Structure 1
């Protein structure tokens, strides 16, 4: 079960090209994405209401799409506007449409009640297209439940062990207890490691005079969005007090979108604000992140396979699990609230019918 009333990332902007049909399964629902002639995005259930064929193997006709099984034509709101050899179109001949917003190179989709889809609730990820920052778009497909990836992102003590040659750095990073705070819709994690070695990915793109002071400060909010202020500066130059001298700064933007109960779309960018006129630096940073996330995928996939062998296995909690425990509680609470809201809606409908 997934949170419905939330903004999910459906695609990078470049994935949905003009005059093309793009399909992706989101929270167990097949979704068709395309652009109207004015460039705005459309999201429809990728399942014709007639016989369930995917509209994504159909064809664009202006702002409409035609199912290429029996020829039904749907407008951008999902209403059937034409059925070959049939003058009268049944009023129920519709496919579900979903609100979308394109912002900072990501296309966001609302899978729940359209009346609750407030674009102002979309998290700020402006670093992805801010000219003062540079990054490349990233996407990884996981064959695991999205919450296991959330767990990984909520506990960075794994960095020195899973990513020793990329994002990790020395093992003293794992010995620092982060500060965990509850915020609206999620948690905020703050971790400082003072007088440590620069991690390999940062040492490869910037010269350091010696040790560094390193920070990771990030919000992880429902449904599964990470926005991170991270970086490092020469040790003892006052970074923790707010003075970032000769620093390497990053603004990580990551979004997990459940595909099914056992698969996940992972969108990410790792913008940096130094050497932005040097594309080789951007490519190097991006590749280090890709390599590290592939390392995450390997261990998390192995974890899921192991867990599947014993559905009754209970994980043993440790102190380092504070953030992920709080986030899972927030997910559970939101799901419970949505379940109650659905029950109340059904009861009201039955009462009106009576």
Structure 2
């Protein structure tokens, strides 16, 4: 089961250019996303209500989509507005619609009760629209449940072992780090971890070959159901980063959104951003490629994990102390799902 009364990332805005009809399964539902001639993004059921043909295989006509099986034409509200060879259109000939909001870089979708839509609750990642911050947005498809990916992100300690030679740099990260108290919120958590007087990991060494020992920080914030925001950086050792002095630092902002496709597959949207003023595009490419290399390391572990869990449904995950953030996030999601189920039962 999934949380439904919340915002999920449905697509990057740039995926909906050039009259693209993007068919994407979200929370087990086939959804068609498209941008009409008026510039508005629409999300409708990707099934013609006549014979179930995929509308994503159809044709965009202005603000409407024509099914290329029998030619029925649907507008962005899901209403059939034309049936070739038939003068009248039954008023109930409609396909389901979903509320979508295009924030300029991301397209958000509300898959649940459309009467509960609240645009003020769309999560914010302001760096995407800040000209001082740069990065290449990207997408991965996981053969794994979205919560396994969220678990991975919620415990930053994994970078010491999964990413020793890429993003982590050393297993010392786990043994020598200090952490702030876990901040638990009703919609997620925030946690900062510090690793003082450490070596630069390989991905930063690629863009700065002169920097010596550094003080490293990672401030992770996660929101239900599976949104990840990370502020991270590397400051010359002993210059007071814990007191707020970022002079001479390399600072990055990372956004990742996990949108369930099915119970065992996930859409993964991500961007890694820097604020350097020189060699901007070269640095963006270097960081993108390094982070992508790290994500493939994660992907191998997580997709194998999914297979292990599928092969033995009786296996139960156990918790250790480092699991406090992910345990809190999972508990919040389970509570939201329970509340949604009880609300639906009361209304039936």
TM-score (norm 2): 0.96
Distance 2:336 2:278 in 1: 40
Deviation at 1:208, TM superposition (A): 4.5
Matched residue count: 346
Q: Residue 290 of structure 1: which of 278, 285, 292 is its match? A: 292
CA RMSD of aligned residues (A): 1.3
Match of 1:52, SS state, is coil
Of 101-110 and 282-291, more deviation after overlay is shown by 101-110
Match of 1:17 in 2: 17
Q: Residue 233 of structure 1: which of 235, 250, 262 is its match? A: 235
Distance 1:306 1:137 in 2: 31
Distance 1:166 1:138 in 2: 19
Distance 2:16 2:182 in 1: 37
Name structure 1 gaps, 5 residues minimum: 347-354
Distance 1:266 1:185 in 2: 20
Deviation at 1:177, TM superposition (A): 5.6
Match of 1:308 in 2: 310
Deviation at 1:104, TM superposition (A): 4.3
Contact 2:186 2:332 in 1 (8 A): no
Q: Residue 330 of structure 1: which of 318, 329, 332 is its match? A: 332
Match of 2:26 in 1: 26
The residue correspondences of 1:232-271 to structure 2 (distance < 5 A) are 232-271=234-273
Distance 1:56 1:30 in 2: 10
The residue correspondences of 1:86-125 to structure 2 (distance < 5 A) are 86-125=86-125
Contact 2:182 2:190 in 1 (8 A): yes
Match of 2:44, SS state, is strand
Distance 1:288 1:57 in 2: 36
The residue correspondences of 1:33-182 to structure 2 (distance < 5 A) are 33-175=33-175, 176=177, 178=179, 179-182=181-184
Q: Residue 320 of structure 1: which of 322, 327, 333 is its match? A: 322
Contact 1:275 1:281 in 2 (8 A): no
Contact 1:132 1:276 in 2 (8 A): no
Distance 1:214 1:191 in 2: 8
Distance 2:208 2:106 in 1: 29
Distance 1:337 1:222 in 2: 14
Name structure 2 gaps, 5 residues minimum: none
Distance 1:331 1:25 in 2: 21
Match of 2:202 in 1: 200
Match of 2:313, SS state, is coil
Contact 2:134 2:280 in 1 (8 A): no
Q: Pick closer, same or farther for the CA change 1:104–1:232 going to 2, 3 Å.
A: farther
Q: Deviations over 1:296-325 (max 9, x none)?
A: 000111111111121011122111111111
Distance 1:53 1:177 in 2: 56
Distance 1:136 1:322 in 2: 32
Match of 1:190 in 2: 192
Match of 2:89, SS state, is coil
